[in-house]
Structure 1
Amino acid sequence: MSDIYKDINSNYERLSEAEREVIHFILKFEEIEGLKLKDIKDALYISNTTVIRACKKLNYATFNELKAAFIQSREKKKQIYPKQSNFLHVLDSIKKETLTTLELVDEKNIDKICNCLINARRIFCIGTESSAQVASEFNDKLKSIDFWTNDFSDKRLIERIPKISTFQDVVVVFSLSGRHEELDEIMIEAKCNRTTIISVTNIAATKLKSISTYCVLTSNTGNQKKFCSRLMLHMMSNLIYEKLITKVPIFDGTSRN
């Protein structure tokens, strides 16, 4: 994982709302080499001080240092995936989202998540609306390797989880937007039972990230179509599963529990 994305991941919660807008603006800016402080200031109606403060919170002393880190990261991407002039725009968007999301991955974090799933008595996979399919497919994958797991997309069923979950259980939340107040409140209730909360959501989901015991982040798509974000959720769920099957023992056909 490149340093710039590691720094964003580690320090995102320290940023104010205005400072987060600065980072989102830079992430979506196409020609990073030509980006100036004035461009950010004029686009977001903020002061230079706000931009510099965001840089420092991410461990970069100046705006130029932060910009250089982004440039270095994007140059590496170009070396791996050279730009094709006739490439469809939608595929180009997927490529960018995929690369950015993969750079947010922390292998140690994925390893800890896998250990939690292996040691869980029960696993509750949650997804609402556009995220429900991701939760359902992840639930099916876990069942295929003999984990006790169920998926939940109906609000009434999700509300029951804090009433039955314990410190031995794990809740895995897939959230496209990461901004679902009712779901956040339910997760807080479950966490009061010392239930482990694992979330797979986008980088802007500050509250859900703070609630979660472990969080896997995807790139924030801004104004892009929802299908791209959902694809990133699928990708991260597959990454967790692929890592998980390297850690679980060979089963003899009997239940794990």
Structure 2
Amino acid sequence: MNNDFYKQIADKYDGLTANEQLVIDFILASNKPDQLKIKDISGKLFLSSATIVRASKKLGFKSFSQLKFYVSQFVNSKEEKLETENYDKIVDRMQSDFKKTIDMLSEKKISTFVSYINSARRIFCVGSGSSVSVSNDLNRKLKLLNYWSNDYEELYSIRDISDISSDKDVIIIISLGGGNGIVNQYLLEAKSKGTKVISITGTNASSVMKLSDANLLVYESPVPRKRMRSRLMLNVAADMVFEYIINYTYEKK
């Protein structure tokens, strides 16, 4: 969403109750917010209609319908016509992206990234949007290796990281485009307390890269769409981290 809209939500999000935050998270995550109805949200979240209306008004909107309108404006402005590729072109693009990503993932960068993980008391894996699945998978693998690790994807839970983290902890943020301004604000709050932030990002995620103590960059060829992009290269980088830990760190623990 545009910066003004993000700022409006970020400024007032903390003033919402936990249930009201669930409502806003649900609306922001919807691909078709213009089709949302209060009764549908109420049924999905098991919350009252009054909670949904109150959450909208606390953010500064006159009604649920007005909030829904602003979210819909963003979604509609980002919709782009999908252009088809033939099979060979898809294969060529993915092979090229894979090679470029591997070239960018030098051993020095992987080693530095892993050093933050190994020195951390606790690890907070953060993902948003379609990158959540990558974050969840990395968190699962770290748990298998007996690291203290948890995944965070809801805004209210990401917000709380700054309240519980310290300079002995590390946040791993995974983001292809780095577009969630609210999440970035919460990361900055945690970082101001000394919590380390390391990231796996696409080349367009400059906002996340700037606040990271260590960053692994992946390559993605330009495609004529933004909302439906592959996270395969993020998975490649996360798997490289996992493999490096197993081969160079885990056996020495």
Band the TM-score falls in, shorter-chain normalisation: 0.5 to 0.7
Q: CA deviation at 1:180?
A: 1.7
Q: Tell whether 2:219 aligns with 1:231.
A: no
Q: CA deviation at 1:227?
A: 6.3
Q: CA deviation at 1:131?
A: 0.5
Matches within 5 A, 1:132-143: 132-143=132-143
SS at the partner of 2:248?
coil
Q: Deviations over 1:121-157 (max 9, x none)?
A: 0000011110010000000100111000001111110
Structure 1 ranges of 4+ moved more than 3 A: 224-229
Q: CA deviation at 1:223?
A: 2.2
Given that 2:120 and 2:168 are in contact with CA atoms closer than 8 Å, whether structure 1 keeps it comes out as: yes
Matches within 5 A, 1:68-217: 88-217=88-217
Q: Deviations over 1:220-256 (max 9, x none)?
A: 43225666640000000000110111233449xxxx9
Counterparts of 1:171 and 1:191, CA distance in 2: 9
Given that 1:110 and 1:240 are in contact with CA atoms closer than 8 Å, whether structure 2 keeps it comes out as: yes
Q: CA deviation at 1:187?
A: 1.1
Counterparts of 2:170 and 2:215, CA distance in 1: 13
Counterparts of 2:94 and 2:224, CA distance in 1: 10
Counterparts of 1:106 and 1:188, CA distance in 2: 27
Counterparts of 2:229 and 2:181, CA distance in 1: 23
Counterparts of 2:137 and 2:212, CA distance in 1: 21
Question: Any gaps of 5 or more consecutive residues in structure 2?
Answer: 1-85
Given that 1:142 and 1:149 are in contact with CA atoms closer than 8 Å, whether structure 2 keeps it comes out as: yes
Given that 2:93 and 2:221 are in contact with CA atoms closer than 8 Å, whether structure 1 keeps it comes out as: no
Residue equivalent to 1:43 = none
Q: Tell whether 2:218 aligns with 1:218.
A: yes
Aligned positions, number: 167
SS at the partner of 1:240?
helix
Counterparts of 1:94 and 1:228, CA distance in 2: 12
Counterparts of 1:243 and 1:237, CA distance in 2: 10
Given that 2:201 and 2:218 are in contact with CA atoms closer than 8 Å, whether structure 1 keeps it comes out as: yes
Counterparts of 1:222 and 1:89, CA distance in 2: 13
Q: For residues 227 and 111 of structure 1, do their structure 2 counterparts lie closer, same or farther at Cα, with a shift above 3 Å needed?
A: farther
Name the amino acid aligned to 1:110.
Answer: I
SS at the partner of 2:197?
strand
Counterparts of 1:206 and 1:104, CA distance in 2: 16
Q: For residues 224 and 102 of structure 1, do their structure 2 counterparts lie closer, same or farther at Cα, with a shift above 3 Å needed?
A: farther
Counterparts of 2:224 and 2:198, CA distance in 1: 25
Residue equivalent to 1:70 = none
Given that 2:145 and 2:250 are in contact with CA atoms closer than 8 Å, whether structure 1 keeps it comes out as: no
Name the amino acid aligned to 1:238.
Answer: D
Counterparts of 1:148 and 1:213, CA distance in 2: 20
Given that 1:143 and 1:149 are in contact with CA atoms closer than 8 Å, whether structure 2 keeps it comes out as: yes
Question: Any gaps of 5 or more consecutive residues in structure 1?
Answer: 1-85
Q: CA deviation at 1:87?
A: 6.2
Q: For residues 224 and 238 of structure 1, do their structure 2 counterparts lie closer, same or farther at Cα, with a shift above 3 Å needed?
A: farther
SS at the partner of 1:248?
helix
Residue equivalent to 1:245 = 246
Counterparts of 2:250 and 2:129, CA distance in 1: 34
